[in-house]
Amino acid sequence: MDRSPPVVSQVVLKMHSRCDLACDHCYVYEHADTSWRGRPRAVSHEILAATAARIAAHAQSHRLPAVHVVLHGGEPLLAGPALLRHAAEELGRALRGVSTLDLRIHTNGVLLDEEFCELFRELGVHVGVSLDGDRAANDRHRRYADGRSSHARVVEAVALLSRPRYRELFAGLLCTIDLENDPVAVYDALAALRPPRVDFLLPHATWDHPPPRPAHTPTPYADWLDAVYRRWDEQGRPVPVRLFESVRRTLRGGDSLTESLGLTPADLVVVETDGTFEQADSLKTSYDGAPATGMNVFEHSLDDVLTHPGMLARQKGIEALCARCTACPVVASCGGGLYAHRYRTGTGFDNPSVFCPDLMALIMNIRRHESLPEPPAHARADEPAPTGQATRPEPEQTLEAADFDELAAGFGGAGVVSRLAVAQLDLNRGLLAALGGRVDPGDRRAGAAWELLLDLDTAAPHALEAALAHPYFRPWALGVLG
C-alpha cells in the first residue's frame, strides 16, 4: 500500500497562557522551556480567525473527515466565556461543509461553573479535567500559589459535569502519576467519580532530569500501574483507562489512543496565544525552545509545519527510533515512549525513553493479564505478523480424534458441533491478527477499518464474531495474506 502523506488532524489551541494554580509538576511553567513569559495572556480574535482558516484549508486539501481541536492553556477558562464562544464559533464557521469539528477543552476545573457548562452544552464542547486522585494525592502538587488545596473545588466541577444535563460533555479525567501516592487509593478516588474515561500519565522527565526512582525496584512506575490494573480488573473494569486500552490495542496490532505509546505518526500541532506554531507541549520538558518551529498562523500553512525537522522525525515511526528500540520485542506497543522522554544532551532524542524499563514491564504485565501471546524476540513493527498468529489463547474446547470420526461419519451431536464452531472461529481470529500486521499505518482507510474491528472486539464482541463467522471472511483473509 502507498503511504498517505502526513496530515495534522489534532490542534491544541492555547486560549490563555497563564494559570490559576501553581502545580509544581507542570511542564509549561516548571520545566526547561520559558517561552510562556513573553506571550500575551489571551489569544486575539485575529489569531483565532487565522487559525481557523489554516485548519479549514488543511482539512479541505487533505479531505479530512474530522478535525480535533483542544482549547488549552495555561488554564483556558481564564479566557472567559465570551472569548471561548468566539473561538468555537470561528472554528465552526470555517469548517462547516469541510470537515466535522470535534471540539474539546482541557481544564483544571477550579473555575468551571454552570455558565461555562451551559456554553459548552450549546456549542458541543467536551470537557476533560485534571485530577490526581483523592485530596492527599491531589494536594501533593495541584495547589493554588498560596498553598491552598484545589481538590474540593475540582470535585465540585466533576460533580457538575456528572449531572444528567451535562454528562454528555464530560470527556474524562487526567491523572499524573506520583509514586508517593498510593495507586489503589488514587484509582478508587477517580473511579468513585464515575468518569467516562481515566488517563494516567507518566510524569515528564528526561535523561538529563530523570524521574524519581526508588532504589529498591527497577520498575516502580510499572509496579504502580500494575496495582491500578489489578484493582481495575477485579472491579470488572468499570471505567475505560486510556493507557491500558492503548497497550491492549497495540499488542493486537492496532493504533494507540495516546501519543505516549505506539508508532502512529504524530498528527498534532500547537497554536500559542501569539499565533506561533509549536510541536507538542510535552517537549517543553526537554530544553528551552524545544517545541519551537519558527512558524506562525499568518505566514505559514499546516503543511509548512509538517516540513519542520522535528515533525518529520515523528512521522517516521520505527525508522526514527534508536537501535535499542528497534530491536525490542515490544516496540510496536511502546513506540519508544513519549518523544520528549527520550531526550539527553549530546544525543538529542536518539535514545530509549527514560521510562524504558517501566514501559517494557507494563506492556508485558498487561500481556500476561490479557493472556495475549508474547511477541517473538526478532519481531519488528514494520514486518507483517506471521500467518495464523493468534492474539488470544487457544480455545478451551479442542477437537479430538473421536470428534473428527463422528463428523466424517455424517453425524455430530451438539457437543462436537459446538467444539467445531469454537475451533473455526479461533482460526479466523488468528487470520484477523495476521491481517493486522499487514495494515500500513499510513493508509488511513485501511487503518480506520482495522480500528473498527478492534473497537468491536472490545465493545461488541458478538458483532465481531458474527463478521468472522461469515463464509466469505476466510477466503478474503487468505487472499490478502497471499
Residue where a domain terminates, one of 260, 294, 313: 313
Largest distance between two CA atoms of the chain: 83
- Sequence-distant (≥ 6) Cβ neighbours of residue 452 within 8 angstroms: none
301 shares a domain with 205: yes
Instruction: Assess if residue 207 is contained within a domain.
Output: yes
The verdict on residue 347 lying in a domain is: no
Does one domain contain both 137 and 281? yes
Same domain, 273 and 410: no
Residues 411 and 296 in one domain: no
112 and 257: one domain? yes
The parent domain of residue 441 ranges over 401-481
Omega into 74 within 30° of 0, i.e. cis?
yes
Whether residues 297 and 411 share a domain: the answer is no
Q: Give SS3 for 32.
A: coil
- Report the 3 state secondary structure along 429-469: HHHHHHHHCCCCCCCHHHHHHHHHHHHHHHHCHHHHHHHHC
Residue 414 shares a structural domain with residue 290: no
Asked if residue 291 and residue 181 are part of one domain, the reply reads yes
Query: What are the distances in angstroms from CA 39 to CA 17, 74, 276?
Result: 7, 11, 10
Residue type, 121: R
CATH at 304: 3.20.20.70
Provide the pairing of β-strand 100-107 with 10-14. Answer: unpaired
Rounded to whole angstroms, the Cα distance separating 252 from 254 reads 6
- If you search the block for the grid coordinates 451431536, which residue do you land on? 413
Domain end position, chosen among 248, 282, 313: 313
Which runs of consecutive H residues, i.e. helices, occur in 2-113? 45-61, 80-95
The answer to whether residues 363 and 247 touch, using CB atoms and an 8 Å cutoff, is yes
Among residues 97, 98, 71, the alpha carbon closest in space to that of 85 is found at 71
Residues 447, 453, 459, 463, CA torsion sign: positive
Looking at the fold, whether 305 and 433 belong to one and the same domain comes out as: no
DSSP 377-443: TT--TTSPPPTT--SSPPPS----HHHHHHHHTT---HHHHHHHHHHHHHHHHHHHHHHHTT--TT-
Q: Say if CB 161 and CB 112 are below 8 A apart.
A: yes
* β 292-296/276-278 pair status: antiparallel
Which residues lie below 8 Å from residue 187, measured CB to CB, with a gap of 6+? Answer: 133, 198, 228, 231, 232
Q: Which of 296, 313, 330 is the last residue of a domain?
A: 313
Angle subtended at Cα 171 by Cα 168 and Cα 175, rounded to the nearest 5 degrees: 150
How many structural domains comprise the chain? 2
Residue 12 three-state SS: strand
DSSP-derived letter for residue 169 is: G
Domain membership flag for residue 26:
yes
**Cβ-based neighbours of 230, under 8 Å, separated by 6 or more:** 369
Quick check: is 341 in a domain?
Answer: no
pLDDT for residue 479: 66
Instruction: Give average pLDDT by consecutive 10-residue segment, the chain, 482 residues.
Output: 73 90 57 61 97 98 95 94 98 96 95 97 96 89 79 95 96 95 97 96 93 88 97 95 93 86 89 95 86 96 94 84 90 92 94 94 92 55 34 39 55 56 66 60 62 66 73 70 59
Q: What is the pLDDT of residue 216?
A: 79
Q: What is the pLDDT of residue 31?
A: 42
User: Which ranges in 126-266 belong to alpha helices (H)?
Assistant: 135-139, 151-161, 183-191, 220-234, 242-251
d(CA 440, CA 42): 41
Position 284 in a domain: yes
**DSSP assignment, residue 224?**
H
pLDDT of residue 315: 81
Q: How far is CA 380 from the centre of its chain?
A: 22
Residue 409 and residue 309 in one domain: no
* Residues 67/59, Cβ–Cβ less than 8 Å: yes
pLDDT at 62: 95
Looking at the domain assignment, is residue 339 inside a domain?
A: no
Q: What element of type H or E holds 357? A: helix 356-370
Q: What angle do CA 351, 353, 356 make, to 5 degrees?
A: 115
Cell 488549552 appears where?
72
Domain check: are 153 and 264 in the same one?
yes
Task: Give a yes or no: residue 335 inside a domain.
Answer: no
Cell of 86: 468566539
Q: Which of 234, 263, 280, 249 is nearest to 321 (CA)?
A: 263
Determine if residue 317 is left, alpha or beta; phi over 0 gives left, psi from -120 to 50 gives alpha, anything else beta.
left
pLDDT at 470: 77
Is the same domain home to 76 and 214? yes
Asked whether 100 and 64 are in contact (CB, 8 A), the reply is no
Q: Is residue 139 part of a domain?
A: yes
